[in-house]
Amino acid sequence: MSEKTALTLTINGKDHAISVEPRRTLADAIREDCGQTGTHIGCEHGVCGACTVIVDDAPVRSCLMFAVQAEGKKIRTVEGLADGDTLHPMQQAFMDNHGLQCGFCTPGFLMLAVGVLEREPDISDEDLIDVLSSNLCRCTGYQNIIKSVRAAAQEMRK
């Protein structure tokens, strides 16, 4: 009853031809079928935000979408942020401001913050805090993540 479907996922501009069951989440497909393991999986039910990716310019939980729903859409993951050896301003800001410790939640935070700032470059500091409440981090206490994203926001507005 649940046969595999052949589809193509476009991740960071590269096409991946895969074959998955409809129940395969986008998060699992990105990692297991496309081999892009920068996207992490935490809770698998939309609470932790570790699996956040950008689908057609919207930051979304990839564990709450099925891979078959992402066919034909532009998927961006943490692997696509840097330009060669040059880090994305968001990645650089996380380094400069100690925005990570163990790093498990970091790809999700990066994609969340980049996704929101690309949509709303002039978002207020207060609203940014609300946005960052979307994802869980058990190391940093969030303050350095907030600092990092604010620094990157200034950089991205230039």
Partner 1 sequence: MKPAPFVRHVPRSLDEALKILADVAGDDGRILAGGQSLVPIMAFRLAKPAHLVDINEVEGLDKIADDGKALTIGARVRHAAFHKPVTGNPLGALLAYVARHIAHYPIRMRGTFCGSLAHADPSSEWCLTAATLDAVMVAKSINGTREIKAAEFFDGIMSTHLKEDELLAEVRLPLLPADARFGFYEFSRRAGDFAMSASLVTYRLDGGKIVDARVGLGGAEASPRRIPEAEAELNGKAAGDAAFRAAGEAASRAIEPLVDHQTDADYRRDLVRVVVRRALEHSLT
Interface residues with partner 1 (CB under 8 A)?
A: 1-2, 21-23, 25, 28, 44-46, 49, 52, 58-61, 63-66, 68-69, 112, 115-116, 130-131, 133-135
Task: Give least dist CB 1 to partner 1, A.
Answer: 6
- 96 vs 150, which CB is nearer to partner 1? 150
Is the CB of residue 109 less than 8 Å from the CB of residue 40?
no
Task: Select 41 or 100, whichever has its Cβ closest to partner 1.
Answer: 41
- Rounded Cα gap, residues 105 and 119, in angstroms: 22
The smaller minimum CB distance to partner 1, of residues 21 and 96, is found at 21
Q: Shortest Cβ distance from residue 81 to partner 1 (Å)?
A: 17
Distance CA 132, CA 67 (A): 25
Is residue 112 within 8 A of residue 49, CB to CB? The reply is yes
- Can you tell me the distance from the alpha carbon of 112 to that of 94, in angstroms, rounded to the nearest whole number? 13
